């Protein structure tokens, strides 16, 4: 690792901005969701993913891929949501090992109630702060970054 290519000014600004924005936005949304809906961001994301999936259910592994947590972390959070009655576990017919997480009616209610406030917070923290052109550029850049990293992980 001799003679590393250090970051130039723009690169450093991009990196610092990324780290700062990342943490600040995460903190902000975490608090907002906890206060207004009693959910962590992870839990909210689980409900969102399930609600968007056909039948309102997904295999644990699929869910873990869409969120970005470890398998054990997902097990924990799904258990929490199950205790709260927002999600139910069902076994998979074709694969005995498999487990489906399914959003319940109550889960739908909670999600519907939480969504408007969450979207408003996302707008306030990120979306409405940028111009449409900036948003388009951000979407493309971060899309590229995500795709690469996902590919590299597999």
Partner DNA sequence: ACTGCAAGGTTCAAATTTGAACTACAGGTC
Partner DNA sequence: GACCTGTAGTTCAAATTTGAACCTTGCAGT
Binding-site ranges for its own copies (CB under 8 A): 1, 4-7, 10-11, 13-15, 17-28, 45, 67-68, 115-117, 119-120, 122-123, 125-127, 129-130, 132, 134-146, 148-150, 153
The verdict on 57 binding DNA (CB under 7 A) reads no
The verdict on 49 binding DNA (CB under 7 A) reads no
CB of 52 to DNA, least distance (A): 18
CB of 64 to DNA, least distance (A): 7
Q: Which is nearer to DNA, 67 or 135 (CB)?
A: 67
CB of 79 to DNA, least distance (A): 7
Structure tokens at 51: 């609600």
The verdict on 117 binding DNA (CB under 7 A) reads no
With CB cut-offs between 5 and 8 Å by kind, which of its own copies, DNA, none does residue 119 bind?
its own copies
- Dihedral angle, C-alpha 110, 112, 113, 115, nearest 10 °: 110
Q: Cβ(127)–Cβ(89) under 8 Å? A: no
Say how far apart CA 101 and CA 82 lie, in whole Å. Answer: 9
CB of 81 to its own copies, least distance (A): 19
Candidate residues 76, 85, 106, 116; the one interacting with DNA per rule CB under 7 A: 76
Task: Tell me, rounded to whole angstroms, the distance of Cα 8 from its chain centroid.
Answer: 31
* Degrees, nearest 5: CA angle 51-22-66: 30
Say how far apart CA 84 and CA 103 lie, in whole Å. Answer: 11
Identify the CA nearest to 36 among candidates 124, 117, 106, 119: 117
Q: Cβ(47)–Cβ(86) under 8 Å? A: yes
Residues that bind DNA (CB under 7 A): 27, 30-31, 40, 42, 59-61, 64, 69-80, 89, 92, 94-100
């Amino acid at each position: 690792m001799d003679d590393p290519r250090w970051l130039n000014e723009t690169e450093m600004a991009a990196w610092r901005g990324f780290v700062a924005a990342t943490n600040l936005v995460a903190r902000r949304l975490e608090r907002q969701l906890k206060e207004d809906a009693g959910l962590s961001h992870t839990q909210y994301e689980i409900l969102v993913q399930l609600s968007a999936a056909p039948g309102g259910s997904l295999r644990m592994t699929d869910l873990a891929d869409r969120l970005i947590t470890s398998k054990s972390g997902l097990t924990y959070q799904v258990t929490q949501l199950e205790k709260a009655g927002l999600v139910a576990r069902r076994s998979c017919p074709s694969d005995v090992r498999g487990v489906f997480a399914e959003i319940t009616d109550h889960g739908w209610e909670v999600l519907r109630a939480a969504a408007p406030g969450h979207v408003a917070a996302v707008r306030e923290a990120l979306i409405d702060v940028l111009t449409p052109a900036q948003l388009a550029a951000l979407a493309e850049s971060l899309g590229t970054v995500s795709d690469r990293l996902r590919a590299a992980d597999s």
